[in-house]
Amino acid sequence: MQISLDLTTIPEALETAHLAMRAGVDWLEAGTPLIIAEGMNGVRALREAYPHVPIVADLKTMDGGWLEAQLMAQAGATHVVVMERAHEETIKVVVQAGRDLGIKVMGDNLGAPDMVAAARRLEDLGCDYIIHHIGYDERRGVVAGGRPCPSPLDQLKEVVNAVQVPVQAVGGLSLEQAMRTPEYGAPLVVLGAPLVIDADAFTAAAGDLEGQLRLICETVHGYGDVRVGH
């Protein structure tokens, strides 16, 4: 169970992280907005607050892969994200950095013309996890054009069956859909914008967020071990 801290200040990210951990979340993600706004300091603040919790740095790396992975590892990240649309050499150096620095690499297929083939490519190049991702702008643009909104559930089973590594589905899922992704063979459930973060303002959502997260965590943990791969 992972929460994406798609926020723009360290205090708000820490506040949301604190309630998420109380609710039973397992992994924290320094979301792209937080990394853009606060850089290494955002990751470092999460690591200082939670010395033993996995922290994903959602860099969405497209170039300069070794340096970006190294900076986040030094700040305390345990996982970094590289994009499938990046050059093959970028993916390779991020994977090599992961091996050398002792961190895991998550490959993101956002924007790929063939999402299933992209997942296979990421695995073949050495990524430890696949993020099957329908982007924020893509979803909003499609809806604005009067078309049905795409969902990562549309091809999730195909992506899961195409690879042996764990898969995470991201992008516009409802709470109910996100909680059910383990049924598709995707065991890494992530919550973020627009589930627990305001999708327009990138601030923490209102309401009983901790109570919602506790219920979600209990449901997701109830699946136990989920088989991955074929």
Question: Could you tell me which residues come within 8 angstroms of residue 39 by beta carbon, excluding any fewer than 6 positions away?
Answer: none
pLDDT tens digits for 154-193?
Answer: 999 999 999 999 999 999 888 888 889 999 999 999 987 4
pLDDT > 90: percent of the chain? 75
Q: Cβ contacts of residue 151 below 8 Å, gap of 6+?
A: 134, 171, 172, 173, 177
Is residue 13 within 8 A of residue 203, CB to CB? The reply is no
Nearest Cα neighbor of 210 from 202, 218, 221 is 218
Kindly report, residue by residue over 111-151, the tens digit of the pLDDT. 999 999 999 999 999 999 999 999 989 888 876 777 778 89
CATH 3.40.50.12590 fits 2-221, yes or no: no
In the structure encoding, which two tokens stand for residue 223, read together?
């699946």
- Per-residue pLDDT tens digits for 212-230: 889 889 999 999 876 665 5
What are the Cα distances from residue 134, in Å, to 24, 39, 92, 171, 208? Answer: 26, 24, 23, 5, 27
Looking at residue 194, its pLDDT comes to: 42
Q: What is the mean pLDDT of the chain?
A: 91
Say yes or no to pLDDT of 84 above 90: yes
